[in-house]
């Protein structure tokens, strides 16, 4: 019942992301106090025992809490009787409160990633910045990076984070080829050059070091990433997968307060 509920209510993840999620999540023991937060926590963990609960906050609708867990956002009633999985719309404004909540959470989480752990391609004086979860093998990631100079020309800095689509480990328990390639890139003396060469289909020189690839992959799971590229504006809004330079400019302007 628990697995079926999760799949029906939370949406089916991609095969590799789902496998990685199962590896990355563990049950979180509920607080002892019988507070509304503890009731909400216990309700979700009864339905999805392996859920990793990242945030529980009062929802915009009375009598409910907003829960972000394992890359999903749901609403659970204070008494634990009801779970709502879906988009919450402010009818007076026609805006998505769910999207706003995700954006705020993602902005906060992305801000925790040190600049030194990112691979950055930027113009001299960028007007806008996007964060992109990327995989060196995905076709649209490669197309996006082929246009990096045109994107930079639009005044947009691109900050890449690692998200190997095959996961960190495969079904055999061994590190995946893509994960090892991305580690090699992040451990290269010249990350940007190694990254660009990998986007052209050239295998990076094997290297290993203390690196952020797994941490960035896990962060992507928490933020709901299920594929690459996943492009986020400065306010934390997911603005798309692949975007042309012109479309990306329009999207970042719409979410930066700098649009005309």
Digitized pLDDT (tens) for each residue of the chain, 260 residues in all = 334 444 444 443 333 334 343 344 444 554 456 899 999 999 999 999 999 999 999 999 999 999 999 999 999 999 999 999 999 999 999 999 999 999 999 999 999 999 999 999 999 999 999 999 999 999 999 999 999 999 999 999 999 999 999 999 999 999 999 999 999 999 999 999 999 999 999 999 999 999 999 999 999 999 999 999 999 999 999 999 999 999 999 999 998 754 44
Given the residues 118, 142, 165, 222, the one annotated as active site? 165
- Where exactly are the structural domains of the chain? 2-86, 115-254
CATH 3.10.450.70 fits 2-86, yes or no: yes
CA distance 210 to 20: 21
Characterize 129-147 residue by residue with b for buried, 16 or more Cβ atoms within 10 angstroms of its Cβ, and e for exposed: bbbbbbbbbbeebbebbeb
- Read off the DSSP letter of residue 188: S
Given the residues 41, 106, 141, 218, the one annotated as active site? 141
CATH architecture of structural domain 115-254: 3-Layer(aba) Sandwich (3.40)
187 an active-site residue?
no
Given the residues 41, 106, 118, 135, the one annotated as active site? 135
Given the residues 138, 142, 218, 222, the one annotated as active site? 138
141 an active-site residue?
yes
Nearest to 106 by CA among 216, 237, 9, 11: 237
């Amino acid at each position: 019942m628990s697995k079926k509920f999760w799949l029906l209510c939370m949406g089916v993840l991609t095969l590799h992301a789902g496998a990685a999620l199962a590896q990355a999540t563990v049950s979180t023991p509920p607080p002892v106090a019988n507070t509304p937060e503890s009731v909400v926590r216990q309700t979700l963990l009864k339905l999805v025992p392996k859920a990793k609960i990242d945030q529980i906050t009062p929802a915009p609708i009375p009598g409910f809490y907003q829960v972000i867990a394992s890359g999903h956002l749901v609403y659970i009633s204070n008494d634990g009787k009801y779970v709502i999985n879906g988009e919450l719309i402010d009818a007076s404004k026609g805006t998505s409160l769910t999207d706003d909540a995700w954006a705020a959470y993602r902005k906060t989480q992305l801000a925790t990633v040190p600049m030194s752990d990112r691979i950055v391609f930027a113009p001299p004086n960028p007007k806008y910045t996007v964060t992109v979860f990327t995989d060196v093998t995905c076709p649209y990631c490669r197309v996006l990076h082929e246009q990096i100079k045109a994107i930079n020309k639009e005044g947009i800095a691109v900050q890449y984070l690692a998200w190997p689509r095959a996961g960190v480990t495969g079904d055999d328990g061994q590190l995946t080829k893509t994960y090892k390639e991305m580690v090699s890139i992040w451990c290269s003396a010249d990350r940007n050059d190694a990254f660009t060469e990998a986007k052209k289909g050239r295998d990076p020189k094997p290297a290993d070091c203390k690196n952020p690839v797994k941490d960035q992959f896990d962060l992507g799971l928490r933020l709901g990433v299920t594929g690459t590229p996943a492009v986020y504006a400065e306010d934390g809004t997911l603005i798309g997968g692949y975007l042309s330079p012109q479309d990306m400019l329009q999207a970042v302007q719409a979410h930066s307060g700098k649009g005309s």
